[in-house]
């Protein structure tokens, strides 16, 4: 227990310089980009005097070094700041949008693993067969498909032509928004309140965006699972199990797959950042009210504090998931020491 605690403290301390470097890069890039929040706020025809007064009010007339030090001092107080465009704290829109992004990301990950791992196992079992070739072709194709293009195709096919699923939004117009005030996670809120009709509506709207995200990232897990299963199926313990007459299904799914999952767990941490990146495009395609849409909207408005706040939250999420994956990896593989 003490080793795990020391490991957690060490990883948390390593997160600090990572955040420092990331925020420094974002801070500098935002300031050197064309345009500024005042121009976005007042338009291009405001008097120069009004523009300068607004810049002074927002602190944008200070040297970039002074702005940077002010922002870091603000973060040291665990304060993400106030939006330059709207009269609100940065944490307020983030708190409202984060549950939608996490819900979509988790559902996309479940679909991704539900497709990638079984197909990878089947490809390894049927190596050099038609099944193997078809599954590998699928993995290569979906890996190359842009997530927004996949979303548009699913919208056209299942939303427009077949009219089976909604193509935008997180919930239907007949569902009362006040039902989701407890946590912001619509699935969890409907389960807690026992409103199963609303739950079905939430899941109904979640299908296309989650499937889009899951399919486009499943190719990575198909190839990784296949490669690891091929190695494990040649191991001595697998050959011994077959020699003792253990059923093939038990050998593959109960023994071989368990050992092949170890590197896949590591990949989960790496792919979580890809899921978040894919969620940004998926949210835009499906008008999903999450962090991705919030980030794009505030980039257009040059709302520096909100953009930086979203980056902080994304970085903390990725660090947290990587930490959890490392601990799970150490638990399932006794050769790894924390």
Q: Which of 17-21, 222-226, 331-335 has the lowest mean pLDDT?
A: 331-335
Do 263 and 198 share a domain, yes or no?
yes
Q: Are residues 233 and 310 in the same domain?
A: yes
Residue 282: the pLDDT is: 87
* Number of domains the chain contains: 2
Measure Cα distances from 75 to 68, 299, 308 in Å. Answer: 11, 20, 10
pLDDT-above-70 percentage for the chain: 92
Last residue of a domain, one of 52, 76, 100: 76
Residue 82 phi/psi, 5-degree rounding, is -125, 140
What is the average pLDDT across 52-57?
78
Q: Is residue 84 part of a domain?
A: no
**Domain identity same for 54 and 152:** no
Region 230-257: mean pLDDT is 82
Pair 11, 142 in one domain? no
Residue 312 lies in domain: 92-332
Residues 72 and 96 in one domain: no
Residue 180 has pLDDT above 70, yes or no: no
Indicate whether 211 and 314 sit together in one domain: yes
* Half-sphere exposure of residue 47: CA atoms within 13 angstroms, side-chain side: 3
CATH code at 222?
Answer: 1.10.3720.10
Q: Where are the beta strands (DSSP E) in 76-180?
A: none
Report if residue 83 sits inside a domain: no
What are the tokens at 208? 């296309």
Report d(CA 78, CA 74) in Å as an integer. Answer: 7
Per-residue pLDDT at 209 exceeds 90? yes
Q: 71 and 96: one domain?
A: no
- Residue 181: pLDDT band (50, 70, 90) is low
**pLDDT score of 139:** 92
Same domain, 103 and 212: yes
Q: Running DSSP on this structure, what letter comes out for residue 255?
A: I
Domain-embedded: residue 337: no
Q: How much is the pTM?
A: 0.85
């Amino acid at each position: 227990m003490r080793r795990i605690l020391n490991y957690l403290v060490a990883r948390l301390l390593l997160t600090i310089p990572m955040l420092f470097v990331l925020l420094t890069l974002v801070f500098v890039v935002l300031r050197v980009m064309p345009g500024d929040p005042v121009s976005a706020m007042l338009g291009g025809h405001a008097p120069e005097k009004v523009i300068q007064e607004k810049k002074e009010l927002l602190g944008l007339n200070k040297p970039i070094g002074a702005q940077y030090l002010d922002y870091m001092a603000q973060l040291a107080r665990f304060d993400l700041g106030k939006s330059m465009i709207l009269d609100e704290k940065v944490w307020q829109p983030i708190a409202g949008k984060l549950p939608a992004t996490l819900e979509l990301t988790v559902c996309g990950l479940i679909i991704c693993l539900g497709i990638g791992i079984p197909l990878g196992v089947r490809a390894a079992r049927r190596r050099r067969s038609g099944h193997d070739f078809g599954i590998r072709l699928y993995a290569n194709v979906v890996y190359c498909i842009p997530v927004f293009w996949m979303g548009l195709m699913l919208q056209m096919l299942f939303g427009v032509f077949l009219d089976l699923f909604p193509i935008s939004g997180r919930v239907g117009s007949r569902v009362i928004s006040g039902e989701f005030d407890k946590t912001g996670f619509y699935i969890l809120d409907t389960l807690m309140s026992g409103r199963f009709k609303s739950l079905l509506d939430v899941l109904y709207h979640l299908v296309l965006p989650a499937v889009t995200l899951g399919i486009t990232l499943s190719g990575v897990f198909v190839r990784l699972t296949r490669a690891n299963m091929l190695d494990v199926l040649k191991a001595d313990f697998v050959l011994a199990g077959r020699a003792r007459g253990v059923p093939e299904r038990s050998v593959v799914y109960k023994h071989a797959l368990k050992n092949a999952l170890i590197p896949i767990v590591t990949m989960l941490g790496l792919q979580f950042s890809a899921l978040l990146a894919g969620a940004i495009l998926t949210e835009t395609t499906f008008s999903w009210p999450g962090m991705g849409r919030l980030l794009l909207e505030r980039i257009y408005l040059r709302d520096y504090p909100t953009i930086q706040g979203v980056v902080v939250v994304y970085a903390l999420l990725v660090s947290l998931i990587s930490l959890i994956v490392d601990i799970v990896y150490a638990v399932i593989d006794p050769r790894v020491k924390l």
